[in-house]
Amino acid sequence: MAGAAGRFAFKLVAMAVAIPIGRLVTKGTAKVWVTTRPESPNVNPKDPDASWPDALMWAGLTGVGAAVAQLMTTKGADTVWRAITGRPSPRPKQGKPIADPID
C-alpha cells in the first residue's frame, strides 16, 4: 500500500494498538499512585482541596504514563504493520517546510 491509502491503513493499525495500551497505562498509573500514596486518592487538579504537591506528583506521573503510551503505541503499531505487510510502516505526509525565522 502506498500513499494516502497506506497512511490511512497504518492509522487504523495504530488506533487498534493504542486503545488497549491506553487502558493499560491508565490502570497502571492509578495502581502506581495507590501503591505509593495509599492515603491519598487519585488527584483531580480542578479539585480545590487537592494539595499542590499531590497535584504536581499526579501531573508528573500521568505525563510519564502518556509518554510511555505514545512510545508503546508507535513501536507496537510499526511492529504489527511489519508483521502484516512485511514492509516498513508508511512515513507521515510531509508538509511544507517551515521557514527559518532567523532569515
Asked whether residue 102 carries a pLDDT value surpassing 80, the answer given is no
Residue 14 lies in a domain: no
Residue 61 lies in a domain: yes
Residue 5 lies in a domain: no
Q: Which among 72, 83, 97, 63 has a CA at the least distance from the CA of 18?
A: 72
Residues 90 and 102 sit within 8 Å (Cβ to Cβ): no
Residue 60 lies in a domain: yes
60-77 pLDDT, tens digit per residue, is: 999 999 999 999 999 999
Residue 67 lies in a domain: yes
**Domains in the chain: how many in total?**
1
Residue 36 lies in a domain: no
Band (100; pLDDT cuts 50, 70, 90): low
Residue 47 lies in a domain: no
Residue 62 lies in a domain: yes
Q: Which domain holds residue 61?
A: 52-87
Write down the pTM of the prediction: 0.75
A 10 A CB-CB count for 26 gives 14
To the nearest 10°, report the CA torsion of 78, 82, 88, 93: -50
2-61 pLDDT, tens digit per residue, is: 688 888 999 999 999 999 999 999 999 989 998 988 877 777 878 888 888 888 888 899
